[in-house]
Structure 1
Amino acid sequence: MSEAKAVRRTRSVTTEAMAERRESILQYASQVISRSGVEGCSFGELSEVSGFSVGMIQHYFRHRDRLISATVEYRIAGALAEWERIYDRGNNALERIHDLLTFSVEGEIPFAEAWGFWLEIYAAAHKNLQIRESVATVLSSWRTLFVRALQEASEENLLNPAADVGELATLFTAVIDGLAIQSLNNIYKSTPEKMIETLHRFAARELGIDPEEFARYKRSKLVAAR
């Protein structure tokens, strides 16, 4: 191997390792925010949890505000990618709506960690313009997926909604957020499992579909396919 090729390979490995280390720090930071809030995500606390030195974390993010912003963007990118995978998996518009509602509870990240993070970020957004803009971006993208699925369902004559598509999409995202707060804090004896059932029934009624049929539809197909 020539010296030039060896240098290029070394640089490539180093760049890859740096990217992996940065992502690992962001994963730990999102966990810290979920448990302790934005204010609790200090370099010292993150170092304690992750095993990375404070100097190493500062090397990647310089100051705390940059770390918080990067963590939010990291979780947004992950959420958007997962949402698109869920959306594309459905065979028709009703399956997509059903899956999106279910995913809001049963995503790749455990419910308590996922919603603990977003609720802390929502709270911080009230006083932080940059975080508020990031929250607006992710909620807009989430709502857009519902708009797309609802428009498809309407075009396919699969529903009889009482409200227009945009209003329904806004209602869905609002109800998801509200039920997540209740489930995360066990208000009204709420649980993630109960949240899924409530979402399915609420959506079915708003869409003019039999709630029992809609609640069983995708789940029964998944079970039958196993």
Structure 2
Amino acid sequence: MTPPRQRSRATTDAEIAELRTRILRHASALIGRDGIDGCSISAVAHAAGCSLGMIQHHFGTRDGLLLATIEFRSDAAVSEWRRLQAAAPDPIAALRALLAFAVEGDESLADAWGFWVQAYVAAPRNPDVRDAVERTLREWRALFVDTIAAARDAGLIPATVDPERAATMLIAATDGLAIQANGGFYGTDADHMRATLNELATQLLSLDPAKEPA
């Protein structure tokens, strides 16, 4: 008897990875647009063009899908930042790239920050979401601290600069400006947010704009 043909595992793995990514991208978009409460398994299944059972098979519950989406967004952001960091000629250029990415990366400010603002709002009500967001924020903060410390160690900023304190202030400004820009408050938009963050970095780190590349 001829044994039954088996599907290629590589093809199956590739299809599974593509499906998971598609689901997580649509879940992310729904959260940014409708909030976490609007991100039901049925809504995601409809948007992603797959069955409810397929989502439940890969992610279990709605909370499992939500946590996987936060991890997906976090991993994508850190990977993109690492790419930008590797391409930067020095730590100051890397910091400028990080600040630019904090405003808009591959996504618009509304799409990127729409998601994270909703995650922040949900965190106090859901301990698992809070833990997932906190892990992301710790990694995000470490990017600032490490980059500023590298700039100080390279003699590009004064030795008196405290990377922890500078990172705290820059992240506080980033989050606050993002909420303002996402809501259209105070006339804040992406360009205003970007200019304000760069000006704050210049002041905090005692940078000389005349010595930076145009």
Over 3 Å counting, the alpha-carbon distance change for 1:163 and 1:154 in structure 2 is closer
How far the C-alpha of 1:29 sits from its partner, in A, is: 0.3
Query: What is the SS of the residue equivalent to 1:39?
Result: helix
Match of 1:194 in 2: 192
Note the C-alpha offset of 1:162: 6.5
Query: Which of 102, 114, 117 is the aligned partner of 1:116?
Result: 114
Shift, 1:3, TM fit: 6.9
Give 2:156's match in structure 1, choosing from 146, 149, 158: 158
Q: Does 1:27 align with 2:25?
A: yes
User: For 2:101 and 2:21, how far apart are their aligned partners in 1?
Assistant: 23
> What TM-score results when the alignment is normalised by the length of structure 2?
0.92
Correspondence for 1:77 among 75, 78, 83: 75
Q: Does the alignment pair 1:102 with 2:100? A: yes
Stretch deviating more after TM superposition (23-32 or 154-163): 154-163
**Residue identity opposite 1:116 in structure 2:** G
For the residues of structure 2 that align with 1:15 and 1:145, how far apart are their CA atoms?
32
Deviates more, 1:28-37 or 1:56-65: 56-65
Greater displacement, 97-106 / 58-67: 58-67
CA distance, structure 1, for counterparts of residue 117 and residue 80 of structure 2? 19
Distance 1:112 1:161 in 2: 37
State the Cα distance separating 1:90 from its structure 2 match.
Answer: 1.1
Judge which range, 30-39 or 13-22, deviates more.
Answer: 13-22
Q: CA RMSD in A?
A: 2.0
Contact preservation (8 Å) 1:161, 1:207: no
Q: Could you tell me how far 1:160 is from its partner in structure 2? A: 2.9
3-state SS of 1:157 partner: coil
Question: Which of these residues, 122, 131, 136, is aligned with residue 138 of structure 1?
Answer: 136
Which has the higher mean CA deviation after the structures are superposed, 84-93 or 174-183?
84-93
In structure 2, what is the equivalent of residue 46 of structure 1? 44
State the Cα deviation string for residues 15-72 of structure 1 (Å, max 9, x = none): 2211211111011000000001111100122123222222322222222111111111
Aligned residues with identical type, % of pairs: 37
Counterpart CA distance in 2 for 1:162 and 1:58 is 53
In structure 2, what is the Cα distance between the partners aligned to 1:180 and 1:213?
28
Q: Normalised by the size of structure 1, how large is the TM-score?
A: 0.87
Count of residues in Structure 1 that have an aligned counterpart in Structure 2: 213
Structure 2 match to 1:18: 16
TM-superposed deviation, 1:84? 1.1
CA displacement at 1:106 relative to structure 2: 2.2
Paired residue for 2:62?
64
Shift of the 115–161 alpha-carbon distance from structure 1 to 2, 3 Å rule, reads farther
**2:24–2:72 contact (8 Å) kept in structure 1:** yes
Contact 2:27 2:69 (8 Å CA) reproduced: yes
User: 1:15 and 1:91 mapped to 2: Cα distance?
Assistant: 37
